[in-house]
């Protein structure tokens, strides 16, 4: 590939974990193919403003080390929202060749709405406890409360009205859906809630919310929000997750990225 790839995670995931890769086998597979791979090193519970600053720092470091003109971003879930804000806020269209969003709540999350409508969520005790949790998790600038607010459908509507994609950046939205609540027991309850209230989803993000831009593609059914990260390091519902990412890389390569 012409440009390095930087993986950008969403909430829960972490690039700083010593003994566990949230991206499973994907980074090593890319390296074996001769593709330069890096990580965004953002916070799990950081706002898109603070994460954009961390991502900006890491992108500039990668560009300096590799002497490349641009990078390709592959971002899961909220990672793509952080990336979109970075590109817009820092006028980074000349440094980002492409942004591939995977299972991203571009139009917000009804699960975030559910949390944010709970009275206990707004108490000082809850907010303090969440901040402590974020610090223990290893984040530099955790703000659990604001992150949930930023992911609500109301806030993301406002976000989309002002944060536009740079036409110099090739952008695509990819997503999956679960077939039923038994596909991944981690999302048994959340899938059921979203299915009843909204419709098809991956256990965290509804199908409609994952749509953003003109290049939208459903990867496959039977794969949950977390499983698409390949953290289980195996095929899911008969789908080779490694092949999904290899296809992404090959497509970007064909486009000259």
Question: What is residue 17's predicted lDDT score, i.e. its pLDDT?
Answer: 61
Q: pLDDT tens digits for 150-207?
A: 999 999 999 999 999 899 999 999 999 999 999 999 999 999 999 999 999 999 999 9
Average pLDDT score over the chain: 93
> According to the model, what pLDDT value does residue 221 have?
92
Decide: 47 and 41 in contact? Cβ < 8 Å. no
- Grade residue 123 by pLDDT with cuts at 50, 70 and 90: confident
In angstroms, the CA 25 to CA 77 distance is 18
- CA 250: distance to chain centroid? 20
Q: Which two tokens stand for residue 92?
A: 């980074």
Q: What is the mean pLDDT of residues 97-103?
A: 98
**CATH number, domain 5-176+209-254, options 3.40.640.10, 3.10.450.50, 3.60.15.10, 3.40.50.1820:** 3.40.50.1820
Q: Are 163 and 88 in contact (CB under 8 A)?
A: yes
DSSP at 239: B
Say what the pLDDT of residue 138 is. Answer: 76
3-state secondary structure of 16: coil
CA dihedral 67, 72, 74, 75 (to 10 degrees): 80
Tell me the pLDDT tens digit for each residue of 64-95.
999 999 999 999 999 999 999 999 999 999 99
- Winning range, highest mean pLDDT, from 129-133, 140-144, 173-177: 173-177
Q: What percent of the chain is predicted at pLDDT more than 90?
A: 81
pLDDT level of residue 211 (50, 70, 90 thresholds): very high
- Domain boundaries along the sequence of the chain: 5-176+209-254
Query: In a 3-state reduction of DSSP, which class is residue 137?
Result: helix
């Amino acid at each position: 590939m012409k440009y390095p790839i930087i993986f950008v995670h969403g909430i829960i995931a972490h690039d700083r974990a010593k003994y566990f890769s949230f991206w499973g086998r994907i980074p090593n597979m890319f390296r074996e193919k001769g593709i330069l791979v890096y990580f965004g090193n953002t916070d799990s519970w950081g706002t898109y403003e603070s994460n954009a600053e961390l991502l900006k720092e890491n992108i500039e470091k990668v560009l300096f080390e590799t002497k490349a003109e641009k990078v390709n971003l592959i971002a899961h879930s909220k990672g793509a929202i952080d990336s979109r804000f970075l590109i817009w806020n820092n006028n980074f269209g000349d440094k980002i060749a492409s942004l591939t969003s995977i299972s991203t709540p571009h139009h917000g999350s009804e699960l975030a709405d559910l949390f944010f409508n709970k009275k206990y969520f707004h108490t000082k005790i809850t907010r303090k406890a969440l901040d402590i949790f974020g610090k223990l998790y290893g984040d530099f600038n955790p703000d659990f409360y604001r992150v949930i607010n930023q992911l609500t459908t109301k806030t993301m509507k406002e976000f989309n009205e002002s944060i536009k994609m740079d036409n110099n950046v090739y952008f695509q939205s990819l997503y999956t859906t679960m077939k039923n609540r038994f596909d991944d027991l981690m999302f048994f309850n959340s899938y059921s809630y979203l299915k009843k209230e909204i419709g098809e989803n991956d256990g965290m993000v509804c199908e409609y919310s994952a749509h953003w831009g003109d290049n939208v593609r459903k990867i496959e059914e039977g794969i949950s929000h977390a499983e698409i990260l390949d953290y289980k390091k195996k095929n899911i519902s008969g789908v080779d997750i490694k092949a999904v990412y290899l296809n992404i890389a090959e497509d970007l390569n064909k486009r000259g990225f």
